[in-house]
Structure 1
């Protein structure tokens, strides 16, 4: 494997994979925001005590973990290419619509499960694409993704706090927005990568 290319500062350049890095930031921000608002939203929606609300939130998080652990690897083992992108894209689109319009605990749980499925399929998808864009920099790509994921969760927490402060009664409504942006970024990543292969 050839050594990783570096720019004049000695750092790994963003290269053709920059839309994929933005996807990593956006999806982790989305998940982080949901985790932050989930407890207050479920507690208010069910009109229960904070203790019962914590139990509802824990159940939602357990559901998300199980869906991600079971269905994420299963989908990747059986699907490739456009089919894989179609699955995570559809799951995230429906998750956004369901969360944004949820008026019941069951609706929120359904949205959480779909978001977990989409994120579990999406993360390995863009990770694989990035490694293909920069095959000589596997460690650097992994480290950069770890940093971006951490930053995304931090940003998501801040966004979640802002949503609860500014629109507590409809904090899930903006959750319809990330999925279309992720799909557009994925399409852009394909165009940028193809152009790089043509000119490279």
Structure 2
């Protein structure tokens, strides 16, 4: 079933009751606001502050840039909630289509009613347990990404004193490495997002320049006549 669809009578009644309770009026202005990911991100963030990082999104009036924002929001948030959006869905949301706005609010209502059900839950290791082989391999790659001769690594159950074996890695060190890795990944993702936005902005400007050149050429021909 597509994300953006025409709701049936029962779903529309449920949505109307919910919007009355939330004091939401789905007029042209509201639809225009909902076409901006920043507005939608704030609504989903109210469900869970950790679900949405507002740093990843910024408001835009251009349809091309709005679409890029929706692609990022789909990747960062909606997929985690189990929603599968096609390019057509994203284009409808960015274009402020009424059926798209109704579908979006209906999914938000259901998520709020049923509770968050994240499809990708982060694995958090207890402080007093030994990491799995996959965790050990991740630490090994972080410690020796550019080293050819890697030594086997064993995570300690605690960090009460210095490790006697130089091959052992305290859990606190492992945790710090994971946090640093996540920070770097977040920074790289932010840079890539900004690059995409800049590329989209350049395309929009080039299109406008081409249109202006065509108009100038037309005016020049008319003047010569």
TM-score range, shorter chain: 0.3 to 0.5
Q: TM-score, normalised by structure 2?
A: 0.30
Higher relative contact order (CA 8 A, sep 6+): 1
Q: TM-score, normalised by structure 1?
A: 0.33
- Rg larger in structure: 2
Which of the two has greater helix per residue? 1
